[in-house]
Every structure is written in structure tokens, then in C-alpha cells.
Structure 1
Amino acid sequence: MISTDPHPIRVVIADDHVLYRKSLQLVITLDRDIEVVAVAADGQEALEQVLRWRPDVLVLDLRMPKLSGLEAIRAISQRSPTTRVLMLTMPEDPDSAVAALLAGAAGYVTKDATGEQVAEAIRELHRGVNQLAPTAAATLLDRVSRTASDDDPNVHLERRILHLLAGGEDLSVVATAVGLSEDDVRHRIADLLTRLRAVASGSP
């Protein structure tokens, strides 16, 4: 179904499992705020569709043929930086989710999420909100604890935020606990991911 919204969120769905891809497309297109402009069955096709359509959001499976999800994220970050990538991962694989975030994904959902949950994640990404589930927050907390300097005054606040998120607290609770606005917490998470991406890529 084509969205009746004059400015719908334009989405490309990329997953190599045809039944999952079609069912996700069906559910998402029921949302009047979202228009699925293209689908892809492998990482290379996902990149091609993104470059053709310049969507707002790409929903991308991590494990893809021809071009892996991580390779596709890096290419899209360079060639279509306004497209935000929502990574699909398996529930038991938080390390891969964090790898996707560090490669440039704006967020992730697990493949056991409902279509409605994926649609909500798409809307959140389009609003500029990074999607960080408790398992990924816990993995990031471990990474920050091992790599960040205790002399950095921001580290203690970041650890507190990640600790609360890892415990399953929602953003409003986290913001109240650390004495910041929800927008400030979002910015802190985004800044943390940017810094960790630079470290992971070897940038100064």
C-alpha cells in the first residue's frame, strides 16, 4: 500500500529470507507514516536500492549474501549518509549488534520483534533517536569499561547511562536518574557511538 501521508518515511527492506521479507513488508506498509519504496535480497542489491531511492531508513539483515550487512553499512555511510540503517540481528547475538552500531548503523532490532515494533523503531530512527536495546547497552558498557580512561569526566556519566539501559530502563527513567533531559541522553549515546566508531576504525 502506498502511504497517503504527503511526507511518508521512505524505507528499503533488505533480507535474504523471502518469507520474512515479504511478511515484514506487508506489516510495515499497513503503517500510513511509512512507504516501502524497494526491497532487496542481498547486500549488494540493498546498496544499489539505497543509491537509487535514497530512502530515509534501510532495514537491513546482518547476515546477507554477496555483501555482508557490515560491509553494506560502511558503504552506505559513505555514499548515502542521510540514510539511517536499522539492523536486524538474532536475539542471542548482541556482539554483532554492537559491531553494526560501531560500523555506522543507527540502531537495531532483533528478528523476533513484531512488525509493529519494527515500524516503531523506523519512526524513532527517522526522528533521530538511536535504537539501543539492553543487550547492546550491556556490551557497550563492557567495551567502555575496558577502553575508556577513568580520568575522563564523561566516562562515569556514560557508564551510568549504559548501566541503566542495560538493566532495561526506558529513556525517561534514565534521564531522570542522571539529571538530564531525554534529548541530552540521546545526544550522549550518539556521541559515545561516534567516539567508539572512531576508535574501531583507527581514526585519531
Structure 2
Amino acid sequence: MLHAVTQESALVLLVEDDAVTRRMLSLSIEKEPSLQLLAALDSRQTALAWLEKEPIDILVVDLGLPDGSGIDVIRHCTKLRPAAHIMVITTSSDEDNVIASIEAGASGYVLKDAGQLDIVAAIRELQEGGSPISPSIARKVLAKMRTAKVPEAGADESAKPTVALTKRESMILDLIARGDTYGEVARQLSLSVGTVQTHIKNIYDKLSVHSRGEAVYEANRRGLLQLDRLKSR
């Protein structure tokens, strides 16, 4: 039986094909008063159809679905529900899947077998502007970023559009790349969380991205980050 839903409850869509895991995650979400589990689906197609009709705040999705990839669900959610927070929960630590998920719009990437999973804690971190990510995955992302080719000084700048970030936007970008939540950024810069979110929206618009992960990846590609400041969560 579902818990009583408060007016502020975040609407969660879970997409997981394994019945035991789906039930375990559903029970954890249903016990949390700040969350409302809208549906627990088991396939790519049913998830795509749901997103066409229903609003959500949070998408928790596996990648290995029986009728296709969860990355398709992430892309569809990013397109139709751009304000939704997206977290991957999977057994796959494949580098290509990690990067593809981030580029598609995921802000979190958690491995099912990485110890005892606290799905509610991960969702809370996601809501607060954090990026819940398994340490081994964080290392893969940073390694990929460090080996990504960043244009050298004097290279042909016509090959990429120039992105002009303000000093404050650059500071915020460095902090979110480091893994700080919106609340932590606000405290460090003596700003309100709302102001930080406005700056982040402007950063996303300038970089043509839709999530923290995409922003960090694209900023590094353009040479806007100092990688020695980054850390895994």
C-alpha cells in the first residue's frame, strides 16, 4: 500500500526489468514520504509511452532493458521533461554506457552491486543538485575527461563556437564539476540556492546541455575546466 503523499512529494518513475530489484527499489521509494512512486515499469517501450503522457520529477532507469537500451528512455525524458532529474541504476560499468548516459542527460550513475544501495539517499542527493555516482564510475568519467582532447592555444578557434561565461558562472561551474551540491555552492559563494540555479540554467543554455554531467563533460571539452580541481564523490 502506498504511503500518504504530501503536496511537495516528488513524482518518481522507475524503469527496471528485474522483478526482484524492481520490487526492492519500489518498496524503498514508497516508504519515503517526500517521494511518490508513479509507476514501476519493466521495459523501454512502456517507459517511452508513459513519458509521452505523464509528468515526472525523477527518472530512475536501468540500461539493460529487454526491448532496448535505457539510454533511449533518458533521451526521451530529457526531450519531453527537461526539468526532471535522471539517475541510472545498473550493473554496467562500461565506459561507453557511462558517457552515453551522461551525454543523454543523466546526472547520476549508481551500480546495483556497489554495496548496500540506499536509493532514497541517492534520490535526495539528486534533488539537491548533486550527482550520485559510484566511485568506480566517477574514476572512469574523470579518466575519460583527462584523455579527451582539449584544443591547444593557437588552434583553429573557428572549429568550435566561443562560449563566454561570466566570472561567477565559471566559479559555479568549477564547484559543480567538483561535485558540490547547489546548497554547498550557495553557501560558499554567499548566494541563495535560487540564484545558483539561475546561474546554472544560464550555463546549461550557453553550453547547449541539459544536465550537470553534460555540462562538466562539455566544459572540459572546450577547455573551461581545471581538471586538478575535480574530485570523485
**Above 0.5 in TM-score?**
yes
How far does residue 139 in structure 1 lie from its aligned partner after superposition?
2.0
Equivalent-residue separation in structure 2 for 1:93 and 1:198 (angstroms): 22
AA aligned to 1:60 is V
The reply to whether residue 109 of structure 1 matches residue 110 of structure 2 is: yes
Gaps of 5+ in 2: 154-169, 204-210, 222-233
Superposed, which structure 2 residues align to 1:93-172 within 5 Å?
A: 93=94, 95-112=96-113, 117-145=118-146, 146-149=148-151, 151=153, 171=180
Inter-partner Cα distance in structure 1 for 2:76 and 2:219: 16
Aligned to 1:6: 7
Runs of 4+ in 1 over 6 A off after TM superposition: none
Conserved in 1, the CA contact under 8 Å of 2:3 and 2:31? no
Task: Describe the shift of the 1:117–1:95 C-alpha distance in structure 2 as closer, same or farther (beyond 3 A).
Answer: farther
SS of 1:128 mapped into structure 2: coil
Q: Which moved more, 1:48-57 or 1:33-42?
A: 48-57
Q: Distance in 1 between matches of 2:176 and 2:59?
A: 27
The residue matched to 2:132 in structure 1 has which SS? coil
Q: TM-score, normalised by structure 2?
A: 0.63
Unaligned stretches of 5+ residues in structure 1: 166-170
- The residue type paired with residue 123 of structure 1 is R
Cα distance change of structure 1 residues 192 and 101 upon mapping to structure 2, 3 Å threshold: closer
Q: What's the secondary structure of 1:147's corresponding residue?
A: coil
Instruction: Give the equivalent residue in structure 2 for 1:18.
Output: 19
Q: Which residue of 1 aligns with 2:30?
A: 29
Q: Identify the structure with the greater helix proportion.
A: 1
Q: Distance in 1 between matches of 2:3 and 2:97?
A: 33
Q: Which has the larger radius of gyration?
A: 2
Q: Residue 168 of structure 1 corresponds to which residue in structure 2?
A: none
Structure 1 counterpart of 2:149, one-letter code: T
Moved more, 23-32 or 90-99: 90-99
Distance 1:75 1:67 in 2: 13
Q: Which moved more, 1:36-45 or 1:134-143?
A: 134-143
Query: Between Structure 1 and Structure 2, how many residues are aligned?
Result: 185
